[in-house]
Chain A
Amino acid sequence: MTGTIPLQYFLIISTLMFFTGIYGFLTRRNLITMLMSIELILNSVNINFVAFNRFLYPDNLHGHFFSLIVIAVAAAEAAVAIAIIINIYRNFRSIDVDKVDEMKF
Chain B
Amino acid sequence: MNILSLFVLVPVLTSAAIVFTKNMKQTRLVAAAGMSVQLILSAILVFMYLAERNAGNTAEMLFTYDALWFPSLNIHYAIGVDGISVAMIALTGIVVFAGIFASWNMEFLSREFFISLILLATGVFGFFISLDLFTMFLFYEIAVIPMYLLIGIWGSGPKEYSAMKLTLMLMGGSALLMVGLLGIYFYSSPDGGPLTWNLLEISKIDIPVEMQRFLFPFTFIGFGILGALFPFHTWSPDGHASAPTAVSMLHAGVLMKLGGYGAFRVAIFLMPEAAQEQAWIFLILTGISVVYGAFGAIWQKDLKYINAYSSVSHCGLVLFAVLMMNQTAFNGAILQMISHGLMTALFFALIGMIYGRTHTRMINEMGGIMKVMPFLGVVYVIAGLASLGLPGLSGFVAEMTIFFGAFQHTDFFHRFLTIMATTSIVVTAVYILRVVGILLLGPIKDEHFLHLEDAKWHERLSTITLVLAIAAIGIAPLWLSDMINVSLEPIVNKISMAGFEFTGLF
Q: Answer whether A and B touch in the complex at a CB cut-off of 8 Å.
A: no
> Measuring CB to CB, which residues of chain B are less than 8 angstroms from any residue of chain A?
none
